[in-house]
Amino acid sequence: MAVSLHFHLWSGRRLYGSATAHSLQFRRRKIVNIILIGAQGSGKGTQAERLAHKLGIPHVASGDLFRKAIADKTELGVQAKEYLDRGELVPDDITVAMILKRLSAPDCARGVLLDGFPRTIVQAQALDRGLASAARSVDCAVYLQVPRDVLVERLSGRYICRAHQHPYNIRTNPPKVPGVCDIDGSELYQREDDRGEMIQRRLDIFFGETIHLLDYYQQQGKLIEIDGNRSIEAVHQQLYSAIMERVGEKERE
């Protein structure tokens, strides 16, 4: 698959141009491209939200992009819906094209936190090629390790806000008002694929296929493994310091 990625460098220059008026600090900030790898219910979305905010880079979640495309009834949404309904992976070519298009948007010029992508070696290789075409690369791939029985427990209690996909768990991370998002007040709902045998099917895909990404990034010296079976805050602290150590940057203000 010949994939090329054309970041909007002119907008990057314009961004640099406008940033030179502020301070050289902006220039010193490295572009940070981070991948979060984890099974369903591992806390990828919860941790990604916090981390992206702290690092000042966009949180790009492949599942959210698919769900929005389905809700908007776009051509991508029509293509992807049957796979999501079956809890299967959307074909690599469709997924890669969607993500590389999203990464070429100006807001990703300073880096990106990828959640749920890549999930296959083909996707990982396409991402590496796409980033390389813009003289960028993955800085680190973080694996959130959580035992399978804990994942099933978490997924059965997962609720998500209708407006912005803020994740909750009725047992471990409940909203202040049942059924209502603390942040934007929208209704919380349980995803179709967080029910019954769909949970097991998606976990089988993760532990049968996506798990091979760990070797892929380990061989590149980019893998960070984090114990995800602790409190949200404890995981966040370990995750953030591990990434800062790897990227060698001070926390953005």
Ligand X SMILES: Nc1ncnc2c1ncn2[C@@H]1O[C@H](COP(=O)(O)OP(=O)(O)O)[C@@H](O)[C@H]1O
Sequence ranges of the binding site for ATP = 41-46, 158, 230
Q: Is 159 exposed, middle or buried (0-12, 13-18, 19+ CB in 10 A)?
A: buried
Nearer to ligand X, 7 or 206 (CB): 206
Minimum CB–partner distance for residue 95 and ligand X (Å): 4
Nearer to ligand X, 95 or 169 (CB): 95
Nearer to ligand X, 11 or 156 (CB): 156
Using CA of residue 134, residue 215, residue 37, residue 116, what is the dihedral sign? positive
Q: Is 158 a catalytic residue?
A: yes
Q: Which of 83, 97, 151, 159 is nearest to 129 (CA)?
A: 97
Within 10 angstroms of residue 229's Cβ, the number of other Cβ atoms is 16
- Kindly report the backbone phi and psi dihedral angles of residue 39, in degrees, each rounded to the nearest multiple of 5, phi listed first: -70, 170
Nearer to ligand X, 64 or 249 (CB): 64
User: What count of Cα atoms within 13 Å lies in the side-chain half-sphere of residue 11?
Assistant: 10
Nearer to ligand X, 45 or 111 (CB): 45
Q: Is 110 a catalytic residue?
A: no
The residues pairing with 144 across neighbouring beta strands, listed in sequence order, are 38, 226
Of 15-23, 59-67, 132-140, 241-249, the segment contacting ligand X by CB under 6 A is 59-67
Verify binding: residue 169, ligand X, rule CB under 6 A: no
Residues 102-131: x where in contact with ligand X by CB under 6 A, - otherwise, as a string: --------------xxxx---x--------
* Annotation: binding site for AMP: 62, 67, 88-90, 116-119, 123, 191, 202
Give the total of residues touching ligand X (CB under 6 A): 18
Q: Which of 110, 136, 154, 158 is catalytic?
A: 158
d(CA 72, CA 43): 26
Minimum CB–partner distance for residue 245 and ligand X (Å): 26
The SS3 of residue 100 is helix
Q: Which of 191, 201, 222, 246 is catalytic?
A: 191
Using CA of residue 227, residue 232, residue 237, residue 240, what is the dihedral sign? positive
Residues 63-102: x where in contact with ligand X by CB under 6 A, - otherwise, as a string: x--x----------------xx--xxxx----x-------
- Closest residue to ligand X, based on beta-carbon distance: 63
Q: Which of 26, 36, 218, 167 is nearest to 112 (CA)?
A: 36
Minimum CB–partner distance for residue 248 and ligand X (Å): 28
Give me 14's structure tokens: 């314009």
Active-site residue list: 44, 119, 158, 191, 202
